[in-house]
Amino acid sequence: MSRFGNIRKILPALEEMLGDRLSVAQSIREHHGTSVTHLAPAPPEAVAFAISTEEVSRIVKLCHDADVPVMAFGTGTSLEGHFLAIEGGLCIDLTGMDSIVSIHADDLDVTVEAGVTREELNHALRDLGLFFPIDPGANASLGGMTATRASGTNAVRYGTMRDNILALTAVMADGQIIRTSSRAKKSAAGYDLNGLLTGSEGTLGIITEITLKLYGIPDAMSAAVCHFDSLESAVKTVVETIQHGIPVARIELVDSLQMSLINKYSKLDYTAKPTLFLEFHGSELSVREQAETVGEIAAGHGGSNFQWATKTEDRSKLWKARHEAFYSVKTNYPGKDYWATDVCVPISRLTECILETYQDIERTGVVAPLVGHVGDGNFHLTLVFDEKDPEDLKKVEAFNDRLVERALRLEGTSTGEHGVGIGKKKFMIREHGPALDYMRAVKHALDPKNILNPGKIFDWEAEK
């Protein structure tokens, strides 16, 4: 039964609580219901701009009692429609919850509100000689990064959000506020609620505060690009680097098409060949040793023309260009539509997966520039198509289906970091089998009225 319109029951109470921080304006609703990529817009019926955990709790309690769906919103940079209001309801915008609550430099941890972005956090930490390493590219909110279990370019060395969370504060479906853990670096006390809520995409609770691990800024950092004559040679260099245990901080793959698009967009002059972007962290000696070893591995696979960047501004320019890959595609294919997708496989199967995918690209003629956090077996494609052409849409959808099936066949996953949302939901039964029923059981137990971001990850009822 549709729940559109249920929100009318609580609008007066929301208006009394929030005043002008409640909006039903069409432009505001559309902003909070439009995805970055190919998924159709689904705006909420109203948007609440919350400023505290206690306020989120009161809002969710009202929604729970009136059976109103609730979606949390950070910066809107997710790629699989996580915040789309497919059943209507209320969007809670957490961007106003942007305080750094406490920094414990001696313990290497920090507690932040959900609306703090990763760039804001690192700016605040810089003078303390500390940084937070998870870097998905977009200047995403840390609440959103937690909810989607984000990772990014540094994951090969520093792990993902899941590996860097000590504790969470969350508002559950009935409005109850919980804290999942303490600031201790490890605990054997009870279930791991950090792990349960991280990556749950707002379907089990609304994360309002996060306690995160921090790291000292390395004494030395050096970045480089290296070009290869073939995609296979570049991927084999990555695999051998990881298998040798070299603690490379970042190792990113860009194919020749994506490299040419980056050059045009970022006004660079790199060779338009399969390219690795690399970065090394540590002491000056260890960075030099790491770079020399990777250089030898790359040379063994035909890698050439290492171009180094040791100055902060040069490294920043290099990684800014890499992070702008998606926007370089949009700029160079104006008027088209874009389907961003990712998969992840064991590192030993990476070469096979990428080469089969490239064969599929060449066979079908799909325009699909490739980039990848390949140090952990994860790569991304931006599929370019015309949504108004049914055959074109059908072609890219079939391509994405084959990409996921290929990753699952190679013992990988349908998504390494984009998350499930709506876009990858149909693959969950194939990937998880009977385990999906246990995920659904957790959802039913924690959110029995199914108000928290309904319709994401899996359907409320199991398929018959």
Cα angle 379-216-182, degrees, rounded to a multiple of 5: 85
Backbone φ and ψ for 377, nearest 5 degrees, come out as 80, 15
Tell me how far apart the alpha carbons of residues 50 and 289 are, in angstroms, rounded to a whole number: 49
With CA atoms as reference, report the closest residue to 196 among 443, 384, 366. Answer: 443
Q: What is the distance between the alpha carbons of residues 275 and 229, in angstroms, rounded to a whole number?
A: 9
Distance CA 290, CA 162 (A): 27
> Could you state, in order of their start, the residue ranges of all structural domains in the chain?
100-216, 220-326, 333-409
Q: What 3-state class would DSSP assign to 386? A: coil
Rounded Cα–Cα distance for residues 368 and 250 (Å)? 23
Topology alike, domains 100-216 and 220-326 = no
**Pairing between β-strand 46-49 and β-strand 90-93 as defined by DSSP bridges:** parallel
CATH class of the 333-409 domain in this structure = alpha beta
CB 32 within 8 A of CB 43: yes
Element (H, E) at 167: strand 165-171
Spatial separation of the C-alpha atoms in residues 139 and 135, rounded to whole Å: 8
The end-to-end CA distance of the chain, in Å, is: 19
- pLDDT of 309 reads 84
State residue 463's pLDDT score. 73
- Sign of CA pseudo-dihedral 278, 284, 286, 290: positive
What is the spatial distance between Cα 227 and Cα 225, in angstroms, rounded to a whole number? 7
Q: How far apart, in whole angstroms, are the C-alpha atoms of residue 82 and residue 71?
A: 9
Q: Residue 276 CA to chain centroid, in angstroms?
A: 21
Per-residue pLDDT of the chain (464 residues; tens, 9 = 90+): 679 999 999 999 999 999 999 999 999 999 999 988 889 999 999 999 999 999 999 999 999 999 999 999 999 998 999 999 999 999 999 999 999 999 999 999 999 999 999 999 999 999 999 999 999 988 999 999 999 999 999 999 999 999 999 999 999 999 999 999 999 999 999 999 999 999 999 999 999 999 999 999 999 999 999 999 999 999 999 999 999 999 999 999 999 999 999 999 999 999 999 999 999 999 999 999 999 999 999 999 999 878 888 888 989 888 988 999 999 999 999 999 999 999 999 999 999 999 999 999 999 999 999 999 889 999 999 999 999 999 999 999 999 999 999 999 999 999 999 999 999 999 999 999 999 999 999 999 999 999 999 999 999 998 76
For residues 427 and 457, give the distance between their C-alpha atoms in angstroms, rounded to a whole number.
9
Residue 22 pairs in a beta bridge with 48
For residue 356, the SS3 value is: helix
Cα(199)–Cα(208) distance, rounded to whole angstroms?
Answer: 14
pLDDT score of 97? 98
CATH class name, domain 220-326: alpha beta
pTM of the predicted protein model:
0.95
pLDDT of residue 1: 60
Burial class (CB in 10 A: 0-12, 13-18, 19+), 280: buried
Q: Please give the CATH number for the structural domain made up of 100-216.
A: 3.30.465.10
